[in-house]
Structure 1
Amino acid sequence: MKTLNYIILLFIGIFLSACFNDLNVEPEDPNLFLDEDFYDSPESYKEGLASVYANLSITGTDGPGSSFIAGLDAGTSQYGRGLWNLQTLVSDEAIWKWENDPGLRELNRTTWAADNVVIRGVFGRVMLSVAFANEYLRQTEASVLSERGVASDVVADIQVYRAEARFLRALSYYHMMDLFGKSPFILETDPVGAYQSPEYSRTQLFEFIESELVAIEEELLDPLQNEYGRIDKAAAWMLLAKLYLNAEVFIGEDKYTECVNYCEQIINSVYDLSPNYLDLFRADNNTNSGRQEIIFPIISDGTVVQNYGPTTVAVNGQIGAIESNGAQFGVSSGGWGGALRVTQQFSETFINGPYSTDDRNTLLTAERNIEVSTISDDDAGYVIQKWSNVPSTDPDNTAGKNQEFADIDFPMFRLADVYLMYAEAHLRGGGGTAAEAASLINALRARANNPELITTADLTLDLILDERLVELYWEAHRRQDLIRFESFTGARYNWAWKGNSPDGAAIDNYRGLYPIPTQSLGANQNLTQNEGY
């Protein structure tokens, strides 16, 4: 059982019957969760922190089919899956076969509107994380701890817990800024149930996230000194680096030097590449060599932390309908019936580039067509074999301990991404050296047994975009990457089913942001709709 699972189990006991407003997502009654009666022992403060983390993994208190957010399918509103859907299904990385699933046809075809249920689920789940963090911070404020007579040594531990909760809140606002360009803004100093919260712009969110991460940095534990699944300094550096890498998109300012600086801090820390690429995506990636590379995961467990999250979707969805090859990946032989395929453009990056013998090339191509001319056609499109629900220590590939729910933790942040961010920020004028940038890319290629190493003369932004696809596919980065490279909207780069066309077609620039859900606009009169919707 994974370390954090013990405290996530305790989370389930905290939220017995909570009901949340699914439009602006604050608890209707603060006494239903994390109230002062809960904090009757020093251990309860760590258990309370678990509730903030757990919202990333589970959707409700009554198993993977339950949800805190009324009116939404539990899978639709799972945090990591929502991010995965909105970063991956809208890009060249994946096509979802079952287009009768609400909201997913529109993501496949980049035709979503403000009433899309998947977008609504992401908005609600992310704001629910803000609500959980705020309530935890209310219950651990200095004056409250003093009134309860909490011992000084426990208070010292709580300060670390509070920094972690503030990070998780900043992470949630980061996702709102990236996906929606704005957000209702609520802090622990606001009253519970303040549904008419102000709207913060991208610039305001950027400034808040930056200031929060800088403020909590020294309160967090050093890299790899916290329990697995919890935040340390490297996670804060990582989020700052991503904030700065995308600053030109977010706020129209060049902050590549700052990005390079934070990447260097992580590179020079104790995190290191896993020697085996595919270990990062196996059931035991919390204990195998992937542990030294994964900076922050979303926890999954086939027994304890069951969810329809991104790794459950990926490992079941990657199973080919005509191959029925699920047994070797620890799920049922048919998986989810060929739910996921990759686009022709994705496949051609591997086939036509220097990646044909690369370990990261997990394409399954035999007896398949590269084109996806009909989305419902099982034979259309190649499939991948990146995720495995069996541990790296299992040479016989026996079935995973649960063939429906993945044991695989989702690597939201990992060191390889830092290497690629450094190289990109360097090319965009952020400093560092070309020699270091080339060396970092070569480290990733060498890890994947790719013999085609590069020189400084080979460094281009186009190479970086391809390297990011090859290294990070199906890890919820692609939409953001394509936007940063000016290749998401417009016609500069088209992929199958972009713009609702089998061959791909231009989409309008306003689709660089998602719409504010119609229900959220109705619940909070301070929110405004994004242009184009």
Structure 2
Amino acid sequence: MKKQIYNITLAVLMACLGGLTSCVNDLDVLPIDPDELHPGNVGQSPENYSFMLNKLYAGYATVGQEGSSGNADLGGLDAGASQYMRRLWDAEELPTDEAINAWNDGNLNAFNYASWTITNEFNTIFFDRIYFQVAQSNEFIRIMSALEPTEDLPASEIARYIDEARFIRALSYWHGLNYYGNGIPKVTEENTVGGDRPLPWGTWDGSELFDYLKSELEYLTSNESALKEMGTAYFGYADKGAAAMLLGKLCLNNEVYLGTDNNNAGEYYAVAEEALQSLVNGGYSLTTTDYTNVTAYQSLFAGDNQLQKNEIIFGISYDGAAIQTYGGTTYLMLSSVGGDMKSSDINMNGNWGGNRTTGALYDLFESGDSRRNYFFTGHEKEINNPSLFTDGYGVMKFTNVRTESMDRNDPNGGFADTNFPMFRLADAYLMLAEAELRQGKAVSGTAESGIAAIRERADLSAPASIDLDFILDERGRELYWEAHRRTDLVRFGKFTSGEYVWPWKGNVKDGAEIDAKYRVFPIPSTAINNNSNLVRTPGY
């Protein structure tokens, strides 16, 4: 499928949310450009609604309306650094054993050591990105819900557009819950533009946002949902498989969001198990074919990985010509090359010398595990100086090489074609086994066979037994650098505790326990200053 992003603007982007840069006061002013969507022309063509939906998906991939850094949606930070997936990846990976960054850009190194504050600019823009997605989704749902069906835009198409927007909103709201907790602002399509400042979903230990997301995702996976069936949407678009995966992730983390003493933990793990069982039996399959240029495993992270739709359940689309950004997979590749590494090996041009890994991740791998082949071991394994890129092994897991060619859409090699695989089947098999174990059950044959196939692809034998410790380590080996690690370590109780440490955890060379408050990020001071209904995150 050709990947394309349309440069459009939603009719009204958002209500005035605490934390976003500003609110527009003159919404009745129409743009001069007749090709730009605005309230005066949005209904003139049914095609406009598909453009608007594409803008929602593009919110995960781009920074604004013009190329890699032009006309950014949000201010307050360098446009390239503000990109949604770049901020998500840094928040998920840099505070863990999987990655450490060498740059001294502003307060970015606070992510290396889990020492961020309420005023950290990178945390602020991530919060704003999440709510920008939520606000755009709300407005799109309002617009679509008010439409009367026509021959060119039948009711079934309107319903699908609405349900895709509900998935996008649920995904960003899950990020909000996962990183910031239940005290974040409550904004849905019911909020009016320019209305009262939103209240929080509830208290920090409340279940309001969790319950809302569970209800939304159970609907989106049901027969009543207008989402396409599992595995039938075009790459980069949501179907019921993506919704089932998100429901599984939400419920698998229920004790993180609701506390270990919540009375419904068993019920929520059962919901996760059911969603994941439907997913692994939903027609997806693991990629097992080796190609001319890449192995089966690396084809999932290659320049044409949209071909692996059998395993990639939901991905964020990139294109070196049409979807240029200094975030996303371009960031993952170029920030990970420097020193003696060659960007030409991954079909790119440039070396930013930023991100590399710690010895703790490398040591998770068994001898003979082919997934370890994508580390660059020509640098020092030990990190004596976090600001020195060549201290720490490089990671070349993501590549702009295609399965059967060295073609690339950007002839200069500055921007990647590789899509980001947000959800994939291997993750679902590991999650299924974990959901079963957390209910006190034996691991099912379905999960066992899936994990055995994952290991076989890595040139390893099936595990002699599967317990929670194995699951956490195998997730590290299979899913490294795919933006899962902080969430996993928090769920397993090892992110802040001294039970498991890694180099430079807590800004100590050999690692140290960190304050439990860092299990979540703080609602930024800008959001609290702009909305008196919000309160500070506990501990900050």
TM-score by length of 1: 0.91
Match of 1:54 in 2: 58
- Correspondence for 1:305 among 323, 336, 351: 323
SS of structure 2 residue aligned to 1:172:
helix
* Alpha-carbon contact 1:389-1:408 (below 8 Å) kept: yes
Alpha-carbon spacing, 1:378–1:186, altered in 2? closer, same or farther (3 Å): closer
- Looking at structure 1, the residues matched to 518 and 334 of structure 2 have their Cα atoms a distance apart, in angstroms, of 29
1:384-416 CA deviation, whole Å, 9 max, x = no partner?
A: 22011121111x688964422111111111111
1:155-196 per-residue CA deviation (whole Å, 9 max, x = no partner) reads 220110100001111111110000000321111121113361
**Which of 83, 88, 95 is residue 83 of structure 1 equivalent to?**
88
Distance (whole Å) between structure 1 residues aligned to residue 410 and residue 503 of structure 2 = 34
The amino acid that maps onto 1:156 is: S
Give the secondary-structure state (helix, strand or coil) at the position aligned to 1:295: strand
Q: SS where residue 423 of structure 2 aligns?
A: strand
Which runs of 5 or more residues in structure 2 are unaligned? Answer: 31-36, 289-295
Q: How many Å apart are 1:258 and its aligned residue?
A: 1.4
Q: Kindly tell me: are residues 373 and 193 of structure 1, through their superposed partners in 2, closer, same or farther at Cα, counting changes over 3 Å?
A: farther
Partner of 1:73 in structure 2? Answer: 78
Q: CA deviation at 1:355?
A: 4.7
Structure 2 counterpart SS, 1:467? helix
* CA gap 1:34/1:89 in 2 versus in 1, 3 angstroms: farther
- CA–CA distance in structure 1, aligned partners of residues 122 and 212 of structure 2: 27
Helix, strand or coil: the match of 1:189? coil
2:29 matched to 1:24?
no
* Rounded Cα–Cα distance in structure 1 between residues aligned with 2:409 and 2:227: 38
Partner amino acid, structure 1, of 2:159: Q
Q: Which has the higher helix share?
A: 1
Which among 144, 147, 158 is matched to residue 145 of structure 1? 147
Match of 2:474 in 1: 467
- The one-letter amino acid of 2:351's match is G
Kept in 2, the 8 Å contact 1:496–1:503? The answer is yes
Aligned in 2, Cα 1:442/1:518: closer, same or farther, shift over 3 Å? same
Q: What does 1:17-416 correspond to in 2, within 5 Å?
A: 23-25=18-20, 28=24, 35=39, 37-66=41-70, 67-98=72-103, 100-141=104-145, 144-146=146-148, 150-151=150-151, 154-182=154-182, 183-194=184-195, 196-201=197-202, 203-217=207-221, 218-252=225-259, 253=262, 254=265, 255-275=268-288, 276-287=296-307, 290-321=308-339, 323-332=340-349, 334-336=350-352, 338-350=353-365, 354-366=366-378, 368-394=379-405, 401-416=411-426
- The SS at the match of 1:219 is coil
Matched, 1:13 2:13: no
Decide whether aligned partners of structure 1 residues 399 and 133 sit closer, same or farther in structure 2, where only a CA change above 3 A counts. closer
Name 1:3's counterpart in structure 2: 2
- Matching residue within 444, 447, 458 for 2:457: 447
Contact preservation (8 Å) 2:92, 2:487:
yes
Give me the TM-score of the superposition, normalised by structure 2.
Answer: 0.89
Shift of 1:270: 1.4
Query: Take 2:130 and 2:115, find their aligned partners in 1: how far apart are those partners?
Result: 22
Query: In 2, are the aligned partners of 1:220 and 1:231 still within 8 Å (CA)?
Result: yes
For 2:197 and 2:47, locate their aligned partners in 1 and report how far apart those are by CA, in whole Å.
Answer: 35
SS class of match (1:270):
coil
Residue type matched to 1:329 in 2?
I
Q: For the structure 1 residues 343 and 162, does the alpha-carbon distance in structure 2 shift closer, same or farther, using more than 3 Å as the test? A: same
Equivalent position amino acid for 1:259 in 2: A
**Paired residue for 2:496?**
489
Question: Closer, same or farther in 2 for the Cα pair 1:109/1:250, shift >3 Å?
Answer: same
1:462 Cα deviation after fit: 1.1
Percent identity, please.
37
Shift in CA distance, 400/325, structure 1 to aligned 2, threshold 3 Å = farther
Deviation at 1:532, TM superposition (A): 1.1
The CA deviation string for residues 9-59 of structure 1, in whole angstroms up to 9 with x for no partner, is 2xx133699899785338625557652521211212211211211111111
Distance 1:65 1:430, change over 3 A: farther
CA distance in structure 1 between the partners assigned to 2:131 and 2:437 by the alignment: 35
Shift of residue 74, structure 1, vs aligned partner: 1.4
> Counterparts of 1:496 and 1:518 in 2: how far apart (Å)?
30
- AA at the equivalent of 1:13: I
Residue 116 to residue 101, structure 1, CA distance change in 2 (3 Å):
same
On the 8 A contact 2:15/2:195 being kept in 1, the answer is no
Per-residue deviation, 1:429: 1.6
Seen in structure 2, the aligned counterparts of structure 1 residues 355 and 133 have a Cα distance that, compared at 3 Å, is farther
SS of 1:413's equivalent? strand
1:441 and 1:310 mapped to 2: Cα distance? 28
Aligned residue for 1:61, secondary structure, equals strand
One-letter amino acid of the structure 2 residue matched with residue 181 of structure 1? G
Q: 1:171 to 1:417 in 2, by over 3 A?
A: same
Cα 1:496–1:18 change in 2 (3 A) is same
Amino acid corresponding to residue 382 of structure 1 in structure 2: Y
Change (3 A) 1:304 1:291: same
Query: In angstroms, what is the RMSD of aligned CA positions?
Result: 2.3
**One-letter amino acid of the structure 2 residue matched with residue 363 of structure 1:** F
Paired with 1:427 and 1:140, the residues of 2 have a C-alpha distance of 42
Secondary structure class of the residue paired with 2:82: coil
Instruction: Label 1:279 to 1:195 Cα distance change in 2 as closer, same or farther (>3 A).
Output: farther
Deviation at 1:116, TM superposition (A): 0.7
SS at match of 1:184: coil
Distance 1:431-1:44 versus aligned 2 partners, 3 A rule: farther
Q: For 1:123, what is the secondary structure of its paired residue? A: helix
In terms of mean alpha carbon deviation, does 85-94 or 309-318 score higher? 309-318
Residue matched to 1:503: 510
Structure 1 position 493, deviation (Å)? 0.9
